[in-house]
Chain A
């Protein structure tokens, strides 16, 4: 919590004959973040383990089989995990069998498909002439007789007859066929062209169209049966082998990755050297584990951490706080010497969100959406599946605070139900429920105070960061100075602003205002010593930051406003009108609140994020850490024991 996991840089040294076992251990322990080795006088960059090329070749073949069968192993459900030993035992035989079977079936299916395509085209070519009752080869024409067939506009027959008697016109369906003496063929073509002639080719078959189409239909049926048979065989292959293929792909990927790991090591003729980061707390256990390999031919030594080193970042939070880490990953991971603010955000994030949304009904709907998995489905549909697991937990926290503030603000889908039943209570001298639309002044002041507290927390966290990085004196002057500026500004503002609003004008007689100004100038002086003129330039920014927290109230008001508009001005009058109005009113309520919930999820989420990223983080957070990414693999379709 607050600190990222402490890391130690280690060198793992050993003899080459224990390299394979060492790689296995590195993967199994899931604790080694490897630093790529740079070539030196003694050590060269390592070469892949023996068998790497074979594993890659098999992986490639298996991927090709998987692609041919159109399998997607990533989203295949896991029915039964396959044991690694049985994969390795059966792999070679299964691979050659599958390759042969799949390629043969695909080949025959492709042949049948091509044939089917031609036969269908032939059948389609005959279709326009199906009404003719003589072999179509009779219409192929000769030196003396020309045949035209095609579509025409209008009726060119009379014009053609006027041209010559040596012609015959046939009509079949909408196809116009002209048989004419070749001497008149050019003239006839002109007439046809004037009628927008487009040719339909007469298929050269020696049978009547009916006989031909019956023959072709028969052939197509038998081809279709063969295609279905091939598809059935493929489906059978898919069904029978998908589990094994997914498991084999997984195992082959793991062994290919493992085999290539030494590319990140340094090796000499008889020894290897591995440069890595490991969590400090597990150094002893890892060293003991490595010592067991090949009776002590491998050892691990911690090395002195250099100033320029930046250890990888492994966030170290309790299970409840862990979902907040996603928000840090989205921004930038903290650097090694910075505070990890996930624990702060665990409190402030749902608090701000709840204050903005603050509605029992919306809170319950969001909670149900998260718990039933509906939100995940919705996000997958919108193409945002990546962030879903962390985000839904965050929204679950936020829905709880929304319901709590819903009680305090008396809002249930925008209706004031508690007011209706006359429920009210008192906490710390404040009368609840507080109706947000009417409590303008107090709500704004509350927002500013939240801002003061949040920014002060930011400066205190910044104090600690600067202390660790640059020493106590620097921290006191810089962040301590800013703490004083913030405190002074707050005192001054709360004295002067009410006077200005009430129209009393600027008066510096109030001791609170004077004290505020003095404290502020002391702070400016301290920070000025470290930051120079920047301090003065950033002063208006601090005021802006504080006012920015009033968005907590503003976003909340807009959500209430939309709900009220749907309820009071559209749904309630419609329902009171009775009859069909009741149906319309209910529809308006459902659609309106669905819209408002959609906005209510996105709006407060983004605004709360912004208050953290822009206002809060700029006070202490630099980020830029590299994620701790140890050697490891996840088995989904396979098991080792």
Chain B
């Protein structure tokens, strides 16, 4: 039995992909962000490095975005 098929299924898959990737990014950034703020309270000169560490997990959602885009082109 096929539960999902057609354009609707692809759209749903794209949504799930970008949503889960965003959640993963958010989770990772939350951990890094709280640590970064703590570290900056000790030494505020590391602002630049903290900022960079903070955005490292954004690669995850870029991957999610790519897959969602590729799926979207198939609709």
Query: Could you tell me which A residues sit within 8 Å of B by CB distance?
Result: 330-331, 440-441, 444, 501, 544, 547-548, 550-551, 554, 606-607, 609-610, 613-614
The complex places the Cα of A610 from the Cα of B65 at a distance, in Å, of: 18
Q: How far is the CB of B31 from chain A (nearest CB, A)?
A: 18
Query: Could you tell me which B residues sit within 8 Å of A by CB distance?
Result: 47-49, 51-52, 55-56, 58-59, 62-63, 65-66, 69-70, 73
CB atoms of B62 and A550 under 8 A apart: yes
User: Assuming the A-B contacts A440-B69, A440-B73, are A551 and B58 also in contact, with contact meaning beta carbons closer than 8 angstroms in the complex?
Assistant: yes
B contacts with A: majority SS: helix
Pick the contact of A606: B55, B63, B70 (CB < 8 A): B55
CB atoms of B62 and A551 under 8 A apart: yes
Q: Which residues of A contact B73 (CB under 8 A)?
A: 440-441, 501
Pick the contact of A548: B47, B62, B69, B70 (CB < 8 A): B62
Task: Name 11 A/B residue pairs within 8 A (Cβ), A-sorted.
Answer: A331-B48, A440-B73, A444-B69, A547-B62, A547-B63, A547-B66, A550-B62, A551-B59, A551-B62, A554-B62, A610-B55
The complex places the Cα of A551 from the Cα of B63 at a distance, in Å, of: 9
The complex places the Cα of A607 from the Cα of B56 at a distance, in Å, of: 9
7 A-B pairs besides A547-B62, A547-B63, A610-B56 with CB distance below 8 A are A331-B48, A440-B73, A444-B66, A544-B63, A607-B58, A609-B51, A613-B52
Q: Which residues of B contact A614 (CB under 8 A)?
A: 52, 56
The complex places the Cα of A331 from the Cα of B56 at a distance, in Å, of: 15
Q: Which residues of B contact A606 (CB under 8 A)?
A: 51, 55
Q: How far is the CB of B46 from chain A (nearest CB, A)?
A: 10
Most buried by B among A544, A551, A607: A551
Q: Which residues of B contact A610 (CB under 8 A)?
A: 52, 55-56, 58
Q: Which residue of B lies closest to A552 (CB)?
A: B62
Q: Which residue of A lies closest to B54 (CB)?
A: A606
Q: Which residues of A contact B70 (CB under 8 A)?
A: 501
Pick the contact of B52: A548, A551, A554, A609 (CB < 8 A): A609
The complex places the Cα of A441 from the Cα of B73 at a distance, in Å, of: 9
Q: Which residues of B contact A501 (CB under 8 A)?
A: 70, 73
The complex places the Cα of A333 from the Cα of B55 at a distance, in Å, of: 21
Q: Which residues of B contact A441 (CB under 8 A)?
A: 73
The complex places the Cα of A223 from the Cα of B62 at a distance, in Å, of: 71
Q: Which residues of B contact A440 (CB under 8 A)?
A: 69, 73
Q: Which residue of B lies closest to A615 (CB)?
A: B59
The complex places the Cα of A440 from the Cα of B70 at a distance, in Å, of: 9
Q: Which residues of A contact B55 (CB under 8 A)?
A: 606-607, 610
The complex places the Cα of A548 from the Cα of B69 at a distance, in Å, of: 15
Please provide the 6 A-B residue pairs with the shortest distance between their CB atoms, ordered closest to farther: A330-B48, A613-B52, A551-B62, A610-B55, A554-B65, A548-B59
